[in-house]
Amino acid sequence: MDANLKQEKRFKGIAASPGIAHGCVLLLAEEELTVPRYRVEGDAIENEIQRFENALLETRGQIQSIQEKIRQNLGEDEARIFDAHLLVLEDQALIEESIKEMQEHDLNVEAAVWTVGHRYIEAFGQIDDEYLRERASDLRDVLRRLLSNLTGQALEQIGTHMDDRILVSNDVSPSAAANIDRSKLLGIVTNAGSKTSHAVIMARSMEVPAVVGLGSFTDEVDQDDIVLVDGYEGVVILNPSESTLHAYGKLKDEKTSLEERLLVHSREASTTKDGKEILLMANIETAEEASRSLEFGADGVGLFRTEYLFINADSLPTEDEQFEVYSKTAKAMAGKPVVFRTLDLGGDKMPRESMEMSLGPESNPFLGYRAIRYCLDHDDVFIVQLRALLRSSVHGDVRIMYPMISGSAELKDANQILEDAKSQLRSEGVAFNESVKVGTMIEIPSAAIASDTLVADSDFFSIGTNDLIQYLIAVDRLNDRVAHLYEPTHPAVIRTLDNIVSSARRGDLSVSVCGEVAGDPVMVPLLLGLGIENLSMSPSLLPSVKFVVQNMSMEEAERLGKMALAEPDSTKILENLLDYYTDLMSGL
């Protein structure tokens, strides 16, 4: 080995998963499969097509097995990664083009699938949108498994080589990550990847430090080299010195101590220094996550995403199947409120092709046929869900919330279908809470501007800031070229939030925020200062947000709210919030 490689060298990438780790490298070089290419003529083509169909079925079964393993070991969020893989196997264009390639060029199935698959991969790789570019890795992963089944060549299992190592690779596919024993993995470092890559999602779920997007790091490192991974700052250090290891050891202890102290605070009431109670709730999508949210000190569930019962199914879930999930969640929360968002399919949340739901392709799905728009057109699907939710209301404080309401007409129509569901249950003698609370999700500018027109038909408002901010500023957060314009402190956002809160107050409605800003400790004082008294976020974010609430006063929050409403510069608003947060945390 070159002596220079023994010197400490630092590399900067993208901070993918928080944490600090150091250890020996396991350098993974993915072996290329050998793809045979030969002529197949006449009736033999039909045999190749049959082989293709068999391989598709075999691959689907393998991916479903991996998905179930991930669901049990990591959770529903991570398991959904493989929905994209299954959709690749159902892509009729890909299947038909592969068969056409065989027939027109008298090719064996392996060669045809490889040719067509790489044509798609190259097309994805040239798309400007970072999120869509990353999906090329999904296709590559599925194609590799499909070719493995066609050729009989075994895929290497990473898990057989892990033994307290830091995995260094060009990239880590989700199916490869699924075979890793978390107890033997210290960290992940990859050349490729971005904040939207599945390697990032898997690393966070496995709770191991990870840095991605390092470019050509694999060219700089050898098997068994020592590296240090700083998943907080996105730094990788090759051959770290003793002084560097000592410094990072202290930093790791400080971070661990902080997290432990925050967890202790999360078990205490979320009340400001001057006695104002703030409800801090959890965003979840499975009944199993309800118990986990209580461990983090949740005051309830502010957003249960019911659409994942539909996304992960091959057919529409029945009323009883939905009731079982909703009632189980309500029981788990032991009397604390649970807000169920009704079906919010569309945009980036699409059902499987096997599902009997026709959303159809759209040029702009985020502004298209989705959420409440679909439900009002398919009241047969909608009323089944509402019946299940109403039935579950006898098992806890169940509340119902409609997504993507654009105006009062939609809200009234949705409430009418809810009344129809109540009438049906009464006539059948089925028990439910007659006074179940019904809320409106404010995430479209029209609803935000005319929020006063929604008060009469709502029991509460919940602000979905993710979509609301994107629609207000016309910014796709996943598009690198404009992502910097996505500013929660933009004056338009601040004033819109203020307008919604003012409408809610006049109607004596509670108002919450369930978007990402609710879980940002820097933004929390501002939200409270604008009059928001209920925040809902990912369960793991609850401890840090609760600490902020417990150590601030409403007087300070209201001062920040007035500042933000008067200041035209979003950067200055953010700077003031950061200064306040820094002072707050200095006391920890």
Catalytic one of 85, 395, 490, 514: 514
How far apart are the C-alpha atoms of 239 and 258, rounded to whole Å? 28
**Does an H or E element contain 478, and which?**
none
Structure tokens at 410: 């939609």
Counting Cβ atoms within 10 Å, is residue 443 exposed (0-12), middle (13-18) or buried (19+)?
Answer: buried
Which residues are CB-contacts of 577 (< 8 A; sequence separation ≥ 6)?
489, 522, 523, 525, 526, 560
DSSP 540: G
Cross-strand partners of 284: 304
Q: Please say if 514 is a catalytic residue.
A: yes
Catalytic one of 198, 265, 395, 490: 198
How far apart are the C-alpha atoms of 319 and 415, rounded to whole Å? 19
Residues 59 and 150: beta-carbon distance below 8 Å:
no
3-state secondary structure labels for all residues of 190-214: ECCCCCCCHHHHHHHHHCCCEEECC
Buried/exposed code over 477-490 (b: 16+ C-beta within 10 A; e: otherwise) = bbebeeeeebbbbb
Q: Please say if 198 is a catalytic residue.
A: yes
How far apart are the C-alpha atoms of 161 and 26, rounded to whole Å? 8
How far apart are the C-alpha atoms of 411 and 501, rounded to whole Å? 18
Nearest to 11 by CA among 204, 167, 239: 239
Range 222-226, long-range pairs (CB < 8 A, 24+ positions): 222/1, 222/5, 222/25, 222/27, 223/25, 223/26, 223/27, 224/24, 224/25, 225/5, 225/24, 225/25, 226/22, 226/23, 226/24, 226/25
How far apart are the C-alpha atoms of 279 and 301, rounded to whole Å? 10
Nearest to 287 by CA among 345, 330, 245, 251: 330
3-state secondary structure labels for all residues of 152-174: CCCCCCHHHCCCCEEEEECCCCH
- Label residue 192 left, alpha or beta by phi (over 0 means left) and psi (-120 to 50 means alpha): beta
Task: Enumerate the active-site residues.
Answer: 198, 514
